[in-house]
Amino acid sequence: MKIFAYGIRDDEKPSLEEWKAANPEVEVDYTQDLLTPETAKLAEGADSAVVYQQLDYTRETLTALANVGVTNLSLRNVGTDNIDFDAAREFNFNISNVPVYSPNAIAEHSMIQLSRLLRRTKALDAKIAKHDLRWAPTIGREMRMQTVGVIGTGHIGRVAINILKGFGAKVIAYDKFPNAELQAEGLYVDTLDELYAQADAISLYVPGVPENHHLINADAISKMKDGVVIMNAARGNLMDIDAVIDGLNSGKISDFGMDVYENEVGLFNEDWSNKEFPDSKIADLIARENVLVTPHTAFYTTKAVLEMVHQSFDAAVAFANGETPAIAVKY
């Protein structure tokens, strides 16, 4: 059996070597290049391809891969929003993702950022770097005094809720598909409008599916409390970033944390030191003391990377054996 992997980063290699050692019967070949119509031929002769990229899996790319005989595709990440599913269907692609690699990685990061926003650590750090060790005016707020609205209560949202409970925050939640345990605890509000009206801080954990596109827009923001804090480590397209910037300018939004950005492909995970950002909105957001930007690193922990590699390669083997792994994408 042969697996060909695309886009392998240096930080994934130890996990890949570990997997290879545990699966000596599988021949593994890989490249650091992403899967494109041009690189598809590298997978020729493989039973499955393993991939991760934010670049779209377009019709052309999927056609090129199918043309070299590879229609088993295992993603090393959760998001499938960049796949042309119509094309995938036409070629009968078997696709898997890694829906649960480490909910804690993302939940922890989002809650660390939310705590940092409440304690104004960016302003404090800037003061300290200038040798100004005075307290005022950088006074913080306590988590236990906040009503935190959690939008999306899947695996990640539920870990975030547990962290919030540890802090003693009052949690309210919204999900189209409520979780039975949280429902029994009475955490849910019935509508997003109710959540917006009650929450001092809001954190998002919903997928970037079309129906959630610009969920947080000017209308939604207008229904939120004055001085609301917003944290988004889910998907960039959940936010109408212009509306968020307007909200920050007016003070309606007091603080904002973002780990994802609608136009992040080609911007995040690139080195811009000594260069101007190619995106004036990101430059503006990064410069603000009440905004924390991280470049889609919420997921980026040793545990998560290991799970992404191991689970995707296991799924690739299952597909190659004609089996349907538990993490096959139903589409």
- Rule CB under 6 A: which residues touch ligand COI? 52, 77-79, 296, 299
Nearer of residues 51 and 243 to ligand COI, judged by Cβ: 51
What distance in Å separates the CA atoms of residue 237 and residue 227, rounded to the nearest whole number? Answer: 22
Q: Residue written as tokens 């990440």?
A: 77
Cβ 280 to ligand COI, closest distance in Å?
A: 24
What distance in Å separates the CA atoms of residue 228 and residue 150, rounded to the nearest whole number? Answer: 13
Nearer of residues 159 and 199 to ligand COI, judged by Cβ: 159
What distance in Å separates the CA atoms of residue 258 and residue 67, rounded to the nearest whole number? Answer: 39
Nearer of residues 9 and 176 to ligand COI, judged by Cβ: 9
Nearer of residues 199 and 308 to ligand COI, judged by Cβ: 308
Q: Which of 235, 289, 307, 323 is catalytic?
A: 235
What distance in Å separates the CA atoms of residue 158 and residue 305, rounded to the nearest whole number? Answer: 21
Active site residue 109: no
Cβ 172 to ligand COI, closest distance in Å?
A: 25
Cis peptide before 137 (omega within 30 of 0): yes
Nearer of residues 226 and 271 to ligand COI, judged by Cβ: 271
Residue 108 token pair: 């922890």
Q: Residue written as tokens 């959940």?
A: 238
Active site residue 25: no
Residue 174 token pair: 């919204």
Nearer of residues 78 and 151 to ligand COI, judged by Cβ: 78
Active site residue 235: yes
Nearer of residues 116 and 235 to ligand COI, judged by Cβ: 235
What distance in Å separates the CA atoms of residue 257 and residue 203, rounded to the nearest whole number? Answer: 9
Cα torsion 188, 192, 197, 199 to 10°: value is 60
With contact defined as beta carbons under 8 Å apart, do 289 and 56 qualify?
Answer: no
Cβ 234 to ligand COI, closest distance in Å?
A: 8
Task: Work out the number of other CB atoms within 10 angstroms of the CB of residue 330.
Answer: 5
Q: Alpha-carbon torsion 45, 46, 49, 50, what sign?
A: negative
Single-letter amino acid code for the residue at 233 = A
Q: Which of 158, 296, 307, 310 is catalytic?
A: 296
Across the beta sheet with 72-75, the strand order is 27-30, 2-5, 48-51, 72-75, 94-96
Residue from 53, 49, 43 nearest 9 by CA: 53
Cβ 79 to ligand COI, closest distance in Å?
A: 3
Q: Which of 158, 264, 307, 310 is catalytic?
A: 264
Cβ 297 to ligand COI, closest distance in Å?
A: 8
CA distances from 149 to 165, 199, 223 (A): 12, 5, 13
Residues marked active site are found at 235, 264, 296
